């Protein structure tokens, strides 16, 4: 979750339906188009799934990002435990992000091995759902001011601020994002642009909460629901921007393309009428064509990718082709990515949810008559799927 000093937009609900009519239409000859024809601009002015990310306001997720980890305690919650244990709690986020990015992004976490005592009680900062941007900014500002005598902030791209485990009032882990329209936080001449203020939920979510929150600094929205009783109605456990602890939490191929982890040459684009047959290599492994995109409007597209139970998705509940709709005009928390449900998907078992089962197998197809598109799964093997995409 990330905060911004603006009023939240009204919720927008989108319903997706899957149909499996008989194949009747005759496709035009196979067509090709540059990937850029399927890149969608962001429409929300904030974190979204668009490709035109403002990399002055957000970090570009390539190369090495140097992260300073600060450990804070409070008058009402004194330091407890080993600093090394706190570091080890989150350190695996480095390897996870490296794998997820095909080695194109490296997080280097540098812990400042001393406790920084905050000037206020932990309960006074308002770290509950509904915390304001100003409250969080005050917390970050006081932490960096207290740490300033002991470190050089100019060497780091972002901060991880980790509270002592006894600070139960610091309940969850929102991300502090740079807003160039505000005075912000400056320490010893360095503007603090991005910080994750971890809370007690890190012990529930594990180290992937760091990968989730860091992804906000790269411009990604949340894919879980901000309202309603079902927290994960959009992508289930298929992306850690939805369910951080989901069974297949690696970023979708669309987001990897947005980040620059997938090249344009790895995108099969169908922006207008025609058809394409494409072999997709599982997104969990590097190389090959990664996503098939059918553009359906100025801010919308359907995306298909191959998912396998390997690497960061080793606990996946189902394998095959994952199909989802992207709408870059939908705000964070309202479902800018929504997985298409397969009426022939298997029933969930164990810790799997219905959405976690929504992959498509050879001989199955999805059709949206309104968008005039069809995605047909031709064949599959251990690490790839072959699709036929059609737009009429």
Could you tell me the residue range of the domain that residue 327 belongs to?
Answer: 9-53+232-391
pLDDT computed for residue 15 by the predictor: 36
The confidence band for 2, taking pLDDT boundaries of 50, 70 and 90, is low
236 within a domain of the structure (yes/no) = yes
Q: Which of 170, 193, 217 is the last residue of a domain?
A: 217
CA angle 150, 85, 2 (to 5 degrees): 70
Same domain, 238 and 211: no
- As a whole number, mean pLDDT of residues 271-282 equals 97
122 within a domain of the structure (yes/no) = yes
Q: Are 334 and 13 in contact (CB under 8 A)?
A: yes
Q: Which of 184, 217, 250 is the last residue of a domain?
A: 217
For the sheet with 337-339, list strands across it.
Answer: 267-270, 291-295, 300-307, 320-327, 337-339
Same domain, 277 and 182: no
30 within a domain of the structure (yes/no) = yes
The confidence band for 30, taking pLDDT boundaries of 50, 70 and 90, is low
Same domain, 180 and 318: no
176 within a domain of the structure (yes/no) = yes
Q: How far is Cα 265 from Cα 267, in angstroms, rounded to an integer?
A: 6
Q: How far is Cα 137 from Cα 144, in angstroms, rounded to an integer?
A: 11
Same domain, 92 and 163: yes
Same domain, 82 and 155: yes
Same domain, 261 and 210: no
Same domain, 207 and 268: no
* Pick from 111-120, 125-134, 165-174, 308-317: least confident: 125-134
- H/E run at residue 87: helix 83-90
Same domain, 276 and 359: yes
Q: Where are the alpha helices (DSSP H) in 111-267?
A: 133-147, 202-205, 208-217, 253-259
| Structural domain count, the chain | 2
The confidence band for 86, taking pLDDT boundaries of 50, 70 and 90, is very high
223 within a domain of the structure (yes/no) = no
pLDDT at 216 over 90: yes
> How many residues are present in the chain?
392
| Report field, pTM of the whole predicted structure over 0.85 | yes
18 within a domain of the structure (yes/no) = yes
Per-residue pLDDT of 114-153, as tens digits, reads: 999 999 999 999 998 789 999 999 999 999 999 999 999 9
pLDDT computed for residue 132 by the predictor: 93
* Pick from 30-34, 42-46, 230-234: least confident: 30-34
Q: Which of 182, 217, 252 is the last residue of a domain?
A: 217
Same domain, 337 and 384: yes
**3-class secondary structure, 252:** coil
Same domain, 260 and 167: no
pLDDT computed for residue 271 by the predictor: 97
No. of helices (H) and no. of strands (E), the chain: 6, 17
34 within a domain of the structure (yes/no) = yes
pLDDT computed for residue 21 by the predictor: 41
58 within a domain of the structure (yes/no) = no
Same domain, 266 and 372: yes
> Residue 105 belongs to a domain with what CATH number?
3.40.390
pLDDT at 386 over 50: yes
Same domain, 177 and 138: yes
pLDDT computed for residue 141 by the predictor: 98
> What mean pLDDT value characterizes the chain?
93
């Amino acid at each position: 979750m990330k905060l911004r000093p603006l009023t939240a937009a009204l919720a927008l609900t989108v319903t997706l339906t899957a149909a499996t009519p008989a194949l009747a239409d005759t496709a035009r000859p196979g067509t090709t188009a540059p990937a850029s024809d399927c890149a969608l601009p962001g429409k929300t002015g904030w974190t979204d799934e668009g490709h035109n990310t403002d990399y002055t306001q957000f970090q570009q997720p390539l190369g090495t990002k140097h992260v300073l980890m600060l450990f804070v305690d409070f008058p009402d919650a004194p330091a407890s435990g080993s600093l090394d244990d706190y570091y080890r709690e989150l350190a695996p986020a480095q390897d996870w992000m490296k794998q997820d990015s095909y080695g194109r992004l490296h997080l280097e976490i540098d812990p400042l091995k001393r406790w920084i005592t905050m000037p206020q009680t932990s309960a006074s900062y308002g770290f509950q759902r509904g915390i304001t941007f100003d409250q969080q900014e005050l917390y970050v500002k006081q932490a960096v001011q207290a740490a300033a005598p002991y470190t050089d902030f100019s060497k780091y791209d972002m901060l991880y601020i980790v509270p002592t485990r006894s600070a139960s009032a610091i309940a969850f882990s929102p991300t502090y994002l740079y807003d160039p329209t505000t005075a912000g936080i400056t320490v010893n001449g360095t503007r603090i642009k991005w910080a994750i203020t971890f809370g007690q939920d890190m012990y529930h979510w594990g180290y992937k909460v760091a990968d989730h929150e860091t992804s906000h600094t790269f411009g990604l929205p949340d894919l879980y629901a901000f309202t309603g009783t079902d927290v994960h109605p959009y992508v289930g456990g298929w992306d850690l921007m939805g369910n951080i602890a989901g069974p297949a939490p690696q970023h979708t191929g669309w987001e990897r393309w947005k980040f620059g982890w997938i090249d344009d040459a790895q995108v099969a684009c169908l922006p207008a009428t025609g058809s394409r047959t494409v072999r997709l290599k599982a997104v969990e492994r590097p190389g090959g064509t990664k996503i098939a995109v059918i553009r359906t409007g100025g801010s919308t597209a359907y995306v298909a990718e191959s998912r396998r139970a390997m690497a960061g998705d080793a606990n996946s509940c189902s394998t095959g082709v994952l199909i989802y709709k992207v709408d870059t005009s939908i705000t964070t928390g309202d479902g800018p990515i929504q997985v298409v449900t397969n009426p022939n998907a298997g029933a969930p078992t164990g810790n799997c949810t219905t959405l976690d089962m929504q992959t498509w197998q050879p001989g199955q197809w999805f059709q949206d008559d309104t968008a005039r598109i069809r995605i047909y799964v031709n064949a599959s093997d251990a690490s790839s799927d072959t699709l036929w995409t059609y737009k009429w």
